[in-house]
Structure 1
Amino acid sequence: MTETVETQIINAEERLRQAMLASDVSILDELLATDIIITSHLGELLGKQDDLAAHESGLIKIHELNPSERQIQMHGEVAIVSVRMQILGSYDGSPANGDFRFTRVWAVSSSGTWQIVAAHIGMVT
């Protein structure tokens, strides 16, 4: 029996969450498309190497990442995920805690795996 596509996305999202918590750059490298477009909560445009470098260098450290309010929409071989996250962590040594919403666009890569091709992060105020 094969997993449903929604189950695959839920599993990929959990794998991403665990990789972010552990700053596991090798898993993040697998999950992020080479040409990913990331818009930060400050409106900055970031790429894959920016995200990987922040984790690898210790610039970003995430201690807790608690998801809620997840919605998944399927559009052919593309999945759009909206999830609210409570984050407890630090950025460049300063506390970086808050309530955020992430929108991620997952697409099937040429190797047949799900990868994030676009992401947007917004603060919940």
Structure 2
Amino acid sequence: MTATVETQIINVEERLRQAMLASNVNVLNELLAPEVIFTNHLGKLLGKQDDLAAHESGLIKIHELKPSEQHIQIHGEVAIVSVRMQLSGNYNGSPANGDFRFTRVWAVSSSGTWHIVAAHIGMVA
């Protein structure tokens, strides 16, 4: 694994975590590919606009995202990240707390930056 690429992925993962905590839709817009496929913990398929709208409207409000067990695989211009997160927050006004595992596929965009092309979240039992 190239240390430079791994460092880039660690950095964009942290930038994503901070954007999720702040519901910073400008940064989320940069980090999510236009065609991103996101499968949430209920198996529902969402797109970029769904995710941005949920943060912008306050439907999702994340108070804490504590990462652990991060695994990164680099495959050329694609990186696969699996990270376990302890999440606390609200979804549609109801508490949304738990232990989740996020899997994200990062790819190099046409402008040369990393963005997420696919993501999946699952609850850890």
**TM over 0.5, shorter chain:** yes
- Alignment-mate amino acid for residue 15 of structure 1: R
1:57 and 2:78 aligned: no
For the residue of structure 2 that corresponds to 1:41, the secondary structure is coil
- Structure 1 stretches (4+) deviating beyond 3 angstroms? none
For the residue of structure 2 that corresponds to 1:4, the secondary structure is helix
Give the corresponding residue for 2:90.
90
Percent of matched pairs sharing the same residue: 82
- Alignment-mate amino acid for residue 85 of structure 1: M
Give the corresponding residue for 2:77.
77
1:35 and 2:35 aligned: yes
CA RMSD of aligned residues (A): 0.7
- Where structure 1 has 5 or more consecutive residues not aligned to the other structure, the ranges are none
For the residue of structure 2 that corresponds to 1:43, the secondary structure is coil
Give the corresponding residue for 1:15.
15
Deviation at residue 110 of structure 1 after TM alignment: 0.2
Instruction: Provide the C-alpha distance between the structure 2 equivalents of 1:102 and 1:30, rounded to a whole number of angstroms.
Output: 19
- Where structure 2 has 5 or more consecutive residues not aligned to the other structure, the ranges are none
- Alignment-mate amino acid for residue 120 of structure 1: H
Instruction: Provide the C-alpha distance between the structure 1 equivalents of 2:42 and 2:77, rounded to a whole number of angstroms.
Output: 30
Instruction: Provide the C-alpha distance between the structure 2 equivalents of 1:45 and 1:62, rounded to a whole number of angstroms.
Output: 20
